[in-house]
Amino acid sequence: MLIVKKFGGSSVADKERIYHVAKRCMEDYQKGNDVVVVLSAMGKTTDSLLEMAKNINPDPSKRELDMLLSTGEQTSAALMSMAMGALGVPAISLNAFQVMMQTSSRYGNARFKKIDTQRIRHELDNRKIVIVTGFQGVNKYEDITTLGRGGSDTTAVALAAVLHADSCEIYTDVEGVYTADPRIVPNAKKIPEITYDEMLELATLGAKVLHNRSVEMAKKYGVQLVVRSSLNNAQGTVVKEETDMESMLVSGVAVDKNTSRVAVFGVKDIPGIAFKIFDLLAKHHINVDIILQSIGQEGTKDISFTVAREDADETVAILEEHKNRITAKKIEKNDAVAKVSIVGAGMQSNPGVASRMFEALYNAGINIRMIATSEIRITVLINEEDVDKAMRAVHDQFIED
Ligand code: ASP
Ligand code: MG
């Protein structure tokens, strides 16, 4: 078997943990498997490197930032190989250049284009454990790129895809994917199996266990994933195309606090206004999420929508600047909001899920400001201060003890 094992920063945070991971990888190796290990930077290294950069130059070049950030993964990979060496297991660490993992040119948010397998295969054939740096790639200028925060998961899935691995295991400091954040919802449960689509919705909504692009890639290439703890042997969560059990009505509840609501009041009720507003934002690369338009009254209407919180001020500024062209009377924003979503593949074939969610919120005295749905997700926008209460209420409504 060829096994790809990815360990997150907390799993390699210090000497003790590095040795713990090394031993875990050795067990698979000694059973005769080929083992490829993908590592994140140790502990909070990436954050510290970012701090260091900001300290030198508040607005550093993106190229140099990637050059700097990529050292975190290179450090953990080399140390892991040394630990394995000390344990008497042949291992070799490789960075993105040595493997040749080609990406798009965009620094800080690059995407894989092509990964060579020759070097890795060669080292595996020599019965070495191959340790690969996560999170990094090489662009057409032969510069180091990084894949965006949390990107090591994507490295692991990409390698599993190109190497046709038999198993891709993502090790982290929690035991798997939960029905809600256990710190807020104490009776949250570990999910044994979840579909790519459900996981993608949850990952995008801020359940931070997996990088959302890693899930996209796993779906595209049919790489089955297991998310599990590096600290114990508990069964983790399997992420795959279709779950064996009948689809759960609701698999999980997720929260996204990184959102703001922008409202545009009193625009003319004529064709082309929505186009003008959202075209302006698109041109400024501002992503819009939930959109709500009121029914026109006396020739005017209101349009409100949500954007990522860091884009809210810019959004208001752009719209203020074009206030006349978009015929707006007033533009307002509210940062004190949050999105609560339920996700479940079983929703597609079961009516009444939305009403049960709204009932739970009503019983908890929580006002809904906006609603959005997809085939397998229902999202409500509520006041941020109600978030924990909403999460517990909705979780209790759908997920049985
Ligand atoms: N070290 C990088 C980060 O902290 C990548 C990763 O951990 O996946 O974002
Ligand atoms: Mg991560």
What are 242-251's pLDDT values in tens digits?
987 767 789 9
Structure-token pair, residue 108: 């800080």
Amino acid at site 301: K
Q: Which of 64-68, 100-104, 179-183, 196-200 has the lowest mean pLDDT?
A: 179-183
Atom of ligand 1 nearest to the CA of 153: 8
Pairwise CA distance, residues 26 & 24, whole Å: 5
CA 126 remoteness from chain centre: 35
Pairwise CA distance, residues 150 & 47, whole Å: 12
Give me the pLDDT at residue 351, please: 85
Give me the pLDDT at residue 285, please: 92
Mutation probe of ligand 1 site: the residue of 51, 69, 152, 214 with most atoms within 8 A of C-beta: 152
Q: For residue 111, what pLDDT band results from cuts at 50, 70 and 90?
A: very high
Give me the pLDDT at residue 163, please: 98
Question: For residue 401, is pLDDT > 70?
Answer: no
Parse the chain into domains and list their residue ranges.
2-173
Pairwise CA distance, residues 92 & 78, whole Å: 8
Fold designation for 2-173: Carbamate kinase (3.40.1160)
Question: For residue 128, is pLDDT > 70?
Answer: yes
- 385-396 mean pLDDT: 96
Give me the pLDDT at residue 248, please: 75
What is the pTM assigned to this prediction?
A: 0.89
Amino acid at site 4: V
CA 38 remoteness from chain centre: 17
The position carrying tokens 């004190």 is: 336
On the CB side of 309, CA atoms within 13 Å amount to: 11
Structure-token pair, residue 59: 């607005």
CA 320 remoteness from chain centre: 33
Q: How far is the CA of 317 from the centre of ligand 2 (A)?
A: 34
Is-contact 264 396, C-beta < 8 A?
no
Give me the pLDDT at residue 219, please: 97
Which residues approach ligand 1 with their CB closer than 6 A?
8-9, 40-41, 46, 72, 134-135, 149-152
Mutation probe of ligand 1 site: the residue of 39, 46, 208, 210 with most atoms within 8 A of C-beta: 46
What are the φ/ψ torsions at residue 386 (nearest 5 degrees)?
-90, 0
Q: Describe the strand order of the beta sheet including 129-133 as a list of residue ranges.
A: 91-94, 129-133, 34-39, 2-7, 167-172, 225-229, 237-240, 193-195
- 261-289 mean pLDDT: 96
Atom of ligand 1 nearest to the CA of 8: 7
Q: For residue 385, what pLDDT band results from cuts at 50, 70 and 90?
A: very high
Mean per-residue pLDDT of the chain: 95
Q: For residue 348, what pLDDT band results from cuts at 50, 70 and 90?
A: confident
Mutation probe of ligand 1 site: the residue of 135, 144, 208, 210 with most atoms within 8 A of C-beta: 135
Question: For residue 195, is pLDDT > 90?
Answer: yes
pLDDT over 90 percentage in the chain = 92
